[in-house]
Amino acid sequence: MKPYSLWSLVRNGISYDKDWQQAWRSPEPKKHYDVVIIGGGGHGLATAYYLARECGVRNVAVIEKGWLGGGNTGRNTTIVRSNYLLDESAGIYEHAMKLWEGLSQELNYNVMFSQRGLLHLAHSVHDMQEIGRRGNAIHLNGIDSEFLNPQQIKKMLPIINLNCRYPVMGGLLQRRGGTARHDAVAWGYARGADDMGVDIIQNCAVEGFDIQNGEVKGVRTSKGLIGAGKVGCVVAGHSSVLAEMAGFRMPLESVPLQALVSEPVKPVIDCVVMSNGIHVYVSQSDKGELVVGAGSDAYISYSQRGSFDQIEHVVGPLVELFPLFSRLRMLRQWGGIVDVTTDRSPILSKTPVKNLFINCGWGTGGFKCTPGSGHLFAHSIAQGEMHEKAAPFSIDRFNTGALIDEGAAAAVAH
Amino acid sequence: MLLIECPWCGQRDQTEFSAHGEAHIARPTETATLNDEQWGNYVFFRSNSKGLHYERWTHDFGCRRWFNAVRDTVSDQFLVTYKPGEPAPDAKQLTQQLSDATSGTAKVSGV
Ligand SMILES: Cc1cc2nc3c(=O)[nH]c(=O)nc-3n(C[C@H](O)[C@H](O)[C@H](O)COP(=O)(O)OP(=O)(O)OC[C@H]3O[C@@H](n4cnc5c(N)ncnc54)[C@H](O)[C@@H]3O)c2cc1C
Ligand SMILES: [Zn+2]
């Protein structure tokens, strides 16, 4: 694979961009792989990448039923942060943040990671107590966080209306937080994995498992049976469906989560703004569109579209906070199916089936952990034992009671 | 926007209702002898079905009563709603009804 560089940009420009290499192959599946990853979202592709890159496991396939990143990876609002309350969460999300900070160089692919800062707003005494508790916990875990008063917030965001219906009382800022380009993350990992020999097989749905004596031996797909030494299942909203094929149940509910973008305008907000209290989150893309995240529906659905009232619920607080935005037209709106756990923490775990591992439960907020999740999951699959940073996120916690209850700390949807 | 048939009030807009997860999960009776695994399975593990889903709803901004529903989670179409205590409708029959409905040969209630 030829690396991307300024030189390659110039050279290909001169030849009218006709000679760019394809970023990855589209091979026919082999009969057998050491590891099969189900799901070509960011987490699955990152897992394959780190398996090949760091664990020396290169006989790997990623099997995707649609196209790369067509699931939640290509549908999210791209917010990246690591300011979680609990130690286990700090461990995994900060691990991801450190990988983000060098990711474009590592992949030789511009993932447009932009640490523009992420500001949580507080609108009530309760909100102030919540950010106070969380901000201090984050600080004790050695992760950056700062408290802002309303004047400091106004300075950062001149267009904000502090005296809205629920006046802004303060904020919690993570300067290292920000956004990244979601498609580029999937493509960058795919290109890197392919270069090391990983087969990426798109338009191929897994329809069942070959399980013998409680041990997985392969996956049945729309392109036939593919043998596997180990299998990693990374299918987000469809995790319960795949688990059912393998004969076990998951502590998950799959619900629609929506987002919308506006017409592009000149730069108006240069950080990510989130409010748990009135429930809205917004950032501005490099193209100038406002990217707005809505809430999730309370009912289980695989329909990949949410209900209309959720849109109204997010646009209301948005125009309260930023009256200027009331003039903007929203251009696109879509939904993704997110797999939510009761404690709002992910699952990285062994399963009742030997050599079948599962990575799911990222729900409304797993994009930010794509590098960390893939990295830890790859090491866990290669070792056959969960990595110490991943171990607390086992499915067993729902039976032992050792929940990682981030619900209160991250009630907002991303 | 979904239209939902409340068994007491009839067809109403979805925004009057709230959903409360899987229906027909009976609380275990021998609670003193349950182990952690059995408790965990009862409290946290769900079928999360793609297809027919038996679930509980309340008509919050109406009669405020609970009821059960069977919905197709792929299309969000409600197949039937029924009062608490009434037996769960037969899945086979509903599957048939669903395939008839998608092929346009039958009218589905509550949609
Ligand atoms: C509207 C919205 C906004 C969000 N905003 C944020 C945010 O701001 N920040 C954040 O951190 N997170 C956010 N999230 C959550 C985030 O998108 C997800 O947690 C994350 O992208 C999950 O990545 P994944 O690779 O696990 O799943 P996915 O990208 O969904 O990949 C799973 C893949 O598995 C494939 N698959 C399913 N079944 C099969 C099968 N049988 N065979 C083969 N392949 C199969 C699917 O086609 C899919 O491509 C948001 C989500 C949504 C929907
Ligand atoms: Zn009613």
Task: Please report whether residue B30 resides in a domain.
Answer: no
Containing domain of residue B85, as a range? 3-21+38-103
Nearest CA to ligand 1 atom 49: A71
List of E strands, A250-365: 253-262, 272-275, 280-284, 290-296, 330-340, 347-350, 356-360
User: Which two tokens mark A66?
Assistant: 């649609």
CA of A343 to the centre of ligand 1 (A): 18
Q: Any CB–CB contact under 8 A between B73 and chain A?
A: yes
CA dihedral sign of residues A147, A111, A238, A230? negative
The whole-number pLDDT of residue B1 equals 73
Task: Please report whether residue B65 resides in a domain.
Answer: yes
| A chain contacts of residue B40, beta-carbon cutoff 8 Å | 251, 398-401
Domain boundaries, chain A: 116-176+254-341
Nearest CA to ligand 1 atom 33: A39
Mean pLDDT by 10 residues, chain A (414 residues): 91 93 95 98 98 98 97 97 95 98 98 97 95 95 97 97 96 97 98 98 98 98 98 98 98 97 96 93 96 94 92 95 96 96 96 98 97 98 98 97 79 51
CA distance A341 to B45: 10
The ligand with the least distance to the CA atom of A80 is: 1
Split at pLDDT 50, 70, 90, the class of B104 is low
Single-letter residue type at A83: N
Neighbours of A294 (CB within 10 A): 27
CA distance A263 to A292: 12
Interfacial A residues in 284-313 facing B (CB < 8 Å): 297-303, 307-309
Phi, psi dihedrals of residue A319, rounded to the nearest 5°: -80, -20
Residues A229-267 pLDDT 10s:
999 999 999 999 999 999 999 999 999 999 999 999 999
User: Which two tokens mark A243?
Assistant: 């688990």
The total number of structural domains that make up chain B: 1
Q: Any CB–CB contact under 8 A between B40 and chain A?
A: yes
How far CA A330 is from CA of A327, A334, A335, in Å, comes to 10, 12, 15
| A chain contacts of residue B36, beta-carbon cutoff 8 Å | 399-401
pLDDT of B106 above 80: no
Q: Which of A328, A327, A315 is nearest to A288 (CA)?
A: A328
Phi, psi dihedrals of residue A358, rounded to the nearest 5°: -130, 140
Kindly determine whether residue B14 and residue A309, on different chains, have CB atoms separated by under 8 Å: yes
CATH for the stretch A116-176+254-341: 3.30.9.10
Task: Please report whether residue B73 resides in a domain.
Answer: yes
Task: Please report whether residue B32 resides in a domain.
Answer: no
User: Which two tokens mark A225?
Assistant: 């049976």
Residues A302-352 pLDDT 10s:
999 899 999 999 999 999 999 999 999 999 999 999 999 999 999 999 999
- pTM of the predicted model as reported, rounded to 2 decimal places: 0.96
Mean pLDDT value of segment B100-110: 59
Neighbours of B94 (CB within 10 A): 20
Split at pLDDT 50, 70, 90, the class of B2 is confident
CA distance A47 to A99: 13
- The pairing of strands B77-82 and A215-221 is unpaired
A336 and A306 Cβ atoms separated by less than 8 Å: no
Interface ipTM > 0.90:
yes
A231 and A243 Cβ atoms separated by less than 8 Å: no
The whole-number pLDDT of residue B105 equals 55
The whole-number pLDDT of residue A166 equals 95
Q: Any CB–CB contact under 8 A between A10 and chain B?
A: no
Phi, psi dihedrals of residue A212, rounded to the nearest 5°: -125, 130
Q: Which of A128, A164, A155 is nearest to A321 (CA)?
A: A164
The whole-number pLDDT of residue A26 equals 96
CA distance A333 to A263: 12
CA dihedral sign of residues A214, A219, A221, A226? negative
Answer yes or no: is the C-beta of A240 below 6 A from any ligand 1 atom. Answer: no
The whole-number pLDDT of residue A2 equals 86
Q: Which helix (H) or strand (E) holds B81?
A: strand B77-82
CATH code for the domain of B90: 3.30.2270.10
Burial of A383 per CB tally in 10 Å (0-12, 13-18, 19+): exposed
Burial B16-27 (b: 16+ CB within 10 A, else e): ebebeebbeeee
The whole-number pLDDT of residue B101 equals 72
